Amino acid sequence: MANTKTVILKIKRQDNPNAKSHWEEFELAWHPGMNVISSMMEIARNPVTRDGKATTPITYDSNCLEEVCGSCAMLINGRARMACSALIDKLEQPIRLEPFTKFPVIRDLAVDRSVLFENLKTVKAWVPIDGTYDLGSGPRISPEEQEAAYPLSRCISCCCCMEACPQFNDDTGFVGAATISQVRLFNTHPTGAALKRERLAALIGDGGIQECGYAQNCVEVCPKDIPLTQSISEVGGEVIRQAVGDLFRK
Amino acid sequence: MASSPKIIVIGGGLAGLSAVIKIAEMGGHVDLFSIVPVKRSHSVCAQGGINAAKNLKGEGDSTWKHFDDTIYGGDFLANQPPVKAMCEAAPGIIDLLDRMGVPFNRTPEGLLDFRRFGGTLYNRTAFAGATTGQQLLYALDEQVRRYESEGKVKKYEHWEFLSAVLDSNKICRGICAMDLRSMEVRTFPADAIIIATGGNGAIFGKSTNSVVCTGSAQSALYQQGCFYGNGEFIQVHPTCIPGEDKLRLMSESARGEGGRVWVPKTPGDNRDPLSIPQSERWYFLEEWYPKYGNLVPRDIATRAIFKVVFEHNLGIDGKPMVYLDLTHIDPKILDRKLEGILEIYEKFVGDDPRKVPMKIFPGMHYTMGGLWIDFNQATNIPGIYAAGECEYQYHGANRLGANSLVSCIFGGFVAGPAAVQYARNLQTAPGNGHFDAERKHQEENNSMLMKSDGKENPFRLWQEFGELMTANCTVIRYNNKLKETDSKLCEMLERFRHINLNDRTQWANTSVVFTRQLYNMLQLGRVIAQGAAMRNESRGAHYKPDFPERDDKNWLKTTKAYFAPDADEPKFEFEAVDISLIPPRPRKYDAVK
Ligand SMILES: Cc1cc2nc3c(=O)[nH]c(=O)nc-3n(C[C@H](O)[C@H](O)[C@H](O)COP(=O)(O)OP(=O)(O)OC[C@H]3O[C@@H](n4cnc5c(N)ncnc54)[C@H](O)[C@@H]3O)c2cc1C
Ligand code: SF4
Ligand code: SF4
Ligand code: FES
């Protein structure tokens, strides 16, 4: 791609949640180091389509521009990924940009992903500390435990794993891989484990962990390489053990 | 006043969330406003770590030494009592974060590990890989989510603070904010408000900051009567990766873990860096600053790089760049301690920094200046508090690496309880009319923009503005250039009246939102340029070749800018710095201090 003099972007646009979507095409002069966000910044500086029609700047979410805030997720050439780290030179042209399909569109490429934050409430994704007053240092944690927890804790809540998951849809009401992986993170923390039963209970039944068909799409798209299928099988095992145990206790 | 105070917190970075947690814990109710979902705040970008003198390495570190390093690093411009309080609180803050589940790196015994950062000789920086800010922010975000599910906190995400609502006695009674989706402008009453809106990198166009770090809220408050302190102190980070859309940071931790900065000794030497023998490399920081080496404070390292590149003409490929080299370090150690930042370099540049030296250059990174506050985080307008990068209190003329995160959390922990205390003693307002008046005023601003049909594209104007500020108001400053900058800013404010929005829809209109911010950025740009022009000395990050020495006799003072509405420009007054604990001494990193 590096020798083409221009970059062509096809962007799916939608004025508001109820409007119909349409495509617009843009052609930009190529220069080194471009990524999808910097291209959209350029469009904002000169909002004219490829066929010369004046249009509006693209609405999209972004903040950190270094793939750590989780804002800029979208479909790029059909794949769920972060726009800020999508280098133009590594993409096939024309580059197609579309909003996620499984979340309500706000406008253009911006969608409403608040469902993930709601899910995190449901599974109590926090360490239940007594208070912020001085209670001395935390529990001892070995380097091995830290090295297991840290990768899980790098989830940026981008929702790529949910967009790519065949089971994540209105019919199943599936919570998705990110939430399950957070359950694993907090259940393995010495203090966080206090809420383990409640977290697992929240994953039992419709929309819970059983919906997962182990299609592994989630792992493939996760920009932070989080071992999601491992989290799912580990948490899945515990959910079953808890459910069976409860059955016998009844 | 009501027994359960109602506080509005604006901003959900480390500072805002820290305040929220304290208020909720004290039984107050919080409305939390943020442009982005709080979990996506700029604090997630912080890489290297957070300072606290826990002295777990048997080095004899102490909170007093942390205090002294911070004051000395800040070239004696910070008021000393609050800095001392922060350094004393820091070890407790680390313990708390540890209890909240932050996956800090550990020693074999299971204790917290610490590394070295710039401007100190001690291993004082706790870290979680190279994504410390992300990990800290998540821990606080999780605690706030817990309070949210208990009904103590209500979040307004995708809402932007526009202005404070002041009553006829100039007491703050709430805020005016805009829903960034419906574009609705609304007012919200509160007993007190806390501003925690972060940095202002966007004033410099490209910086290491996130997109929403515009300083717009701070500027709006300055225009409403808040003092703005030490605006001219802007930190340029020595090691950034130049990019199309932003300057990505290569954290100081890379040098903390042994990274070395060098250039080839001969100009124009374009050999593969790995083939250049040691004897033909110039490790200029190590040579000039044998004691601190690569870990001199940022202002010093940045000026050294400028000197090597622009005076000695030794920039790599003839460009303003130098090498930051990690290739001599065991890749396994690099992965364990620095993976997050190595990944950034790999992803955005395409080279593996374990194998090839990185090419880096200084970039705008942090503002030491911000809303003026007292030792209780209160601004000069009753009922308005501030915490985090948006205020000026803790870093003097130059911030030390890994001190911001601790100042954000500490500031939030002070501001929250102070606001609750204030709210408990608050008298009722003399009327309610000011709410409607403020809302109408802001609605008019919006409709003026919507109607404006000039030719200026706001995003292009921003680009020009950023380039101007970067050229004249960063590393090296000359009075004629600063004055020229200010008059260009006046021209830009004039051009702003002929803005063309391109987008006039009433739904999720990012052009209107950005254009409003741009106006506030331009106003704050003048505070920075004029403040810098006035200060005829060199101190910390503020460097004037025509006045190369620090001048304590005339300039050991806090700059306080205030807005003169009739003249539509900044006015200045100066305040003595509280130096009651450590007498100022010359700041020299080439010698033992
Ligand atoms: C790349 C990088 C690396 C860094 N690494 C380190 C490090 O290792 N150690 C260290 O100590 N410091 C580091 N820093 C500095 C540190 O990250 C910041 O100073 C700190 O995170 C600022 O936190 P904050 O809470 O003040 O603001 P932020 O985290 O910037 O949060 C601001 C909040 O305000 C909201 N907001 C802003 N304006 C409005 C408005 N008008 N209305 C409503 N909401 C608004 C935003 O949505 C956001 O929630 C680094 C900085 C950068 C850029
Ligand atoms: S494994 Fe498949 S079904 Fe399960 S969460 Fe991942 S993508 Fe969805
Ligand atoms: S698990 Fe990965 S893909 Fe899913 S939300 Fe987290 S970071 Fe994104
Ligand atoms: S903008 Fe933060 S992840 Fe892309």
pLDDT at residue B349 in the model: 87
DSSP string across B240-264: EE--SS-PEE--THHHHTT-EEEEE
Specify the 3-state DSSP secondary structure of A112.
Answer: coil
Beta-ladder partners of B360: B322
Q: How far is CA B440 from CA B51, B184, B451, in A?
A: 45, 12, 16
Q: Are B544 and B44 in contact (CB under 8 A)?
A: no
Mean pLDDT of B264-280: 94
Mean pLDDT of B353-359: 95
Cα(A95)–Cα(B149) distance, integer angstroms: 41
Q: Could you tell me where the DSSP H helices lie in B224-309? A: 253-256, 284-288, 298-306
Catalytic residue flag (residue B298): yes
Tell how strand B123-126 and strand B114-116 pair up: antiparallel
Among the listed residues B255, B298, B526, B535, the single catalytic one is: B298
ipTM of the complex: 0.96
Instruction: Using pLDDT thresholds of 50, 70 and 90, give the confidence band for residue B593.
Output: very low
Residues of chain A with CATH 3.10.20.30: 6-111
Of chain B residues 78-107, which have a CB less than 8 A from chain A? Answer: 92, 95-96, 98-101, 103-107
Beta-ladder partners of B29: B6
Q: Encode pLDDT of B373-429 as tens digits.
A: 999 999 999 999 999 999 999 999 999 999 999 999 999 999 999 999 999 999 888
Which single residue is written with the structure tokens 């799916």?
A12
What are the backbone dihedrals phi and psi of residue A190, each rounded to the nearest 5 degrees, phi first? -55, -40
Q: How far is CA B435 from CA A19, B169, B173, B175, in A?
A: 34, 14, 8, 8
- Please give the CATH architecture assigned to the domain spanning A6-111: Roll (3.10)
% of residues, chain B, pLDDT over 70: 99
Cα(B46)–Cα(B136) distance, integer angstroms: 9
Residues ≥6 apart with Cβ < 8 Å to B530: B482, B486, B561, B570, B572
Q: Are A233 and A184 in contact (CB under 8 A)?
A: no
The residue type at B120: T
CA of B533 to the centre of ligand 1 (A): 27
Mean pLDDT of B547-561: 98
Q: Are B241 and B345 in contact (CB under 8 A)?
A: yes
CA of B306 to the centre of ligand 4 (A): 30
Cα(B235)–Cα(A19) distance, integer angstroms: 45
Look at B448 and B593; give whichever has higher pLDDT.
B448
Q: Encode pLDDT of A177-222 as tens digits.
A: 999 999 999 999 999 999 999 999 999 989 999 999 888 999 999 9
User: Counting atoms of ligand 4 from 1, which one is nearest the CA of A69?
Assistant: 2
Of chain B residues 234-273, which have a CB less than 8 A from chain A? Answer: 243-246, 248
Render the burial of B24-57: b for 16+ CB within 10 Å, e for the rest. Answer: bbbebbbbbbbbbbbbbbbbbbbbbbbbbbbbbb
Specify the 3-state DSSP secondary structure of B194.
Answer: strand
Q: Encode pLDDT of B106-155 as tens digits.
A: 999 999 999 988 888 899 999 998 899 999 999 999 999 999 999 999 99
Query: 0.90 exceeded by the pTM?
Result: yes
Instruction: With residue B380 as reference, give the H or E element that holds it.
Output: none
Q: Are B489 and B529 in contact (CB under 8 A)?
A: yes
pLDDT > 80? residue B57:
yes
Residues ≥6 apart with Cβ < 8 Å to B468: B485, B488, B489
B332–chain A Cβ distance below 8 A for any pair: no
Residues ≥6 apart with Cβ < 8 Å to B287: none
- Average pLDDT value for chain B: 95
Render the burial of A161-173: b for 16+ CB within 10 Å, e for the rest. Answer: bbbbbebbeeebe
A114-249: CATH superfamily: Alpha-helical ferredoxin (1.10.1060.10)
Residues of chain A with CATH 1.10.1060.10: 114-249
Contact between B105 and A57 using a beta-carbon 8 Å cutoff: no
Cα(A174)–Cα(A166) distance, integer angstroms: 10
pLDDT > 80? residue B591:
no
pLDDT at residue A4 in the model: 60
Q: Encode pLDDT of A124-148 as tens digits.
A: 999 999 999 999 999 999 999 999 9
Which chain B residues are within 8 Å of A44, Cβ to Cβ?
459, 511
